[in-house]
Structure 1
Amino acid sequence: RRLAPLRTEHHRVARLASLAAGTSAENERKMRLESYVLAARLEQVAAAATARLARMSSGRFTLVHSDERANGRGRHGLGLHVVDAWTGTERDTATLSGGESFFASLALALGLSDVVAEEAGGVRLDTLFIDEGFGSLDEQTLDEVLDVLDALRERDRTVGIVSHVPELRRRIPAQLEVVKGRSGSYVRHRTAADR
C-alpha cells in the first residue's frame, strides 16, 4: 500500500521522460523535446528566410520546414526543403546549385537575423559578415549576389565580405586587406582610388 503511490508517480515521470526523449510509442515523430523546440524555431527562421529568398530568386524558390530526416541522417524535425516554382516540386536543399545554395544560405542568415531582432524588441543587427561561397558562383550569379548585398547596405546595414575571389576585389570599393609579412600580418585599408 505504501509503494503504490510511489509506483504511480514513477510511472507518470517515466512516461513523461520517455515522451521528452522521443523513445515513447506515444511520440509519433520520435522527436526529442529539444528537437521539437528547435524545429519550431526553424519554422520561424524558414518563414523569414523565404521572404528574402523569394525576392533574391525572383519568386522561384521558397523554403519549407521538413519533419523528415535528411537522407536517413540527423534528427527528425530539423530539415529544410526548397520548393521550386519552375518545376512545382519540393526537394532537399542539398540539390541546389552553388549559386542557389549561396542565396539560400544568405536568406537563412538574414531570416535568423530578422527573427532574433524581432524577439529582442526590434533591436536591429546592423552588421553582417559573409565568409564563404563566392568561389562557387558564376559571373551572373555573382552580379545578383552583389546586387542583394548592395540593397542591404542601402538600408544602413554594414556588410563585410571575406573572400579571395579576384572579381570581388575589383568591384568592392572599400576594403581591408590582410597583408602577410616576415614579421607578421597587418591590415591595410584600400579604396577604389588606391587601386
Structure 2
Amino acid sequence: AETARLAGALDGLFAEAGIAKPRAGEHQRAAAIAVERATAARERIVQMQAQADALRAQRASVETEKQVASALAQHLRANNFEAWLLQEALEALVTGASSILRELSNGQYDLIHDDREFFVVDHHDAGLRRAVRTLSGGETFQASLALALALADQLGGMSTNASLESIMLDEGFGTLDASTLDTVAATLENLAAIGDRMVGVVTHVQSLAERIPVRFEITKDARSARVERIG
C-alpha cells in the first residue's frame, strides 16, 4: 500500500512538471549507463595518472643528464678541463704523500694543501696547521721525501705494465747540521722498515752513510775508480 502511495505521488509530480513518466526499466538502464561511464572515466584518470608519473620520472632523469652535461661543458671549456685534471692529480698526490709522511714522522705530521700552498698539521701541537716554510731541515726532508714517494706511486699507477721500484735521493746532505742528519737517517730507516721500494742515497756525509745498512762506497785515484759493497 505504501509503495502504491509513493508511486502515485511520483506520478503526480511528473504530471505537475509536465514530464512524461519513464517506462519501466529505464531507471535501471540509465543507472547502468552512468556506472559504465563513470568506470571508464576512472580508468582513463588512472591511466593519465600513470602517464604523468612516468613523465615526471623521465623529466627527473633528463634533468640529471642536463646537470652532468652542463658540468662537463664547464670543465671542457677553455682551460677548465686541464685545471680540473691538475686539481684531481694534486689531490691524489697530497693524499698519498700525507699517508707516507704520517708514517715517516711516527704520526706527527699530515700534509694538506690550500689555495696552492702546502701545510703540515702537527699532531704533537694540538693539530696546529703550519706552513711548510716553517719546517726544520729534517722535517722539510721528510715532507719532500713523502711527496717524491707519492709521486713515484702515482706515476707507477698510470701504467699496468710498469712500476717504479726504486728511487734515488741526492739532496745535498752536506749542508745539513747534525740534528737534521739524524732526522734524515731515522726517516730512511723508517722507510726501509715500512716500504717495498728500494731507496738509494747519494752522499759524501760519512755519518749518514754509516746509518745505511747496505751501501756501495766509491773510491778513486788518478787513474781509476773502485766500487766496494759494504753490508
Asked if Structure 1 and Structure 2 have the same fold, meaning a TM-score greater than 0.5 normalized by the shorter chain, the answer is yes
**Distance verdict in 2 for CA 1:58–1:171, change over 3 Å:** closer
CA distance in 1 between counterparts of 2:216 and 2:136 reads: 30
Higher helix share: 2
Counterpart pick for 1:51 among 99, 110, 113: 99
CA shift digits 1:15-74 (9 cap, x unpaired):
x9xx746xxxxxxxxxx764553332111110001111111112221111222xxxxxxx
Aligned: 1:97 with 2:136: yes
Aligned length: 152
CA distance in 1 between counterparts of 2:207 and 2:219 reads: 18
Q: How does 1:154-169 map to 2 (within 5 A)?
A: 155=196, 157-169=197-209
CA distance in 2 between counterparts of 1:33 and 1:182 reads: 56
**Distance verdict in 2 for CA 1:36–1:168, change over 3 Å:** same
Q: 1:170 offset after TM fit, Å? A: 2.3
CA distance in 1 between counterparts of 2:82 and 2:172 reads: 30
CA shift digits 1:100-128 (9 cap, x unpaired):
11110111111112222222238431111
**Distance verdict in 2 for CA 1:44–1:122, change over 3 Å:** farther
Q: Which amino acid aligns with 1:158?
A: M
CA distance in 1 between counterparts of 2:229 and 2:83 reads: 46
Q: Which position in structure 1 is the counterpart of 2:190?
A: 148
Partner SS for 2:93: helix
Aligned-residue identity in percent = 38
**Distance verdict in 2 for CA 1:91–1:35, change over 3 Å:** farther
Q: Which amino acid aligns with 2:183?
A: T
| Greater Cα shift, 142-151 or 91-100 | 142-151
Contact 1:152–1:159 (CA under 8 A) maintained in structure 2: no
- Greater RCO between the two (CA within 8 Å, min separation 6)? 1
Partner SS for 1:163: coil
Q: Which position in structure 2 is the counterpart of 1:120?
A: 159
Larger Rg computed on CA atoms:
2
Aligned: 1:80 with 2:113: no
Q: Which position in structure 2 is the counterpart of 1:11?
A: none
Q: Which position in structure 2 is the counterpart of 1:3?
A: none
Partner SS for 2:210: helix
**Distance verdict in 2 for CA 1:179–1:33, change over 3 Å:** farther
Structure 2: runs of 5+ lacking an equivalent = 1-73
Partner SS for 1:164: coil
Structure 1: runs of 5+ lacking an equivalent = 1-15, 22-31, 68-76
**Distance verdict in 2 for CA 1:91–1:127, change over 3 Å:** same
Which structure 1 residue ranges, 4+ long, deviate > 4 Å from structure 2?
32-36
**Distance verdict in 2 for CA 1:50–1:38, change over 3 Å:** same
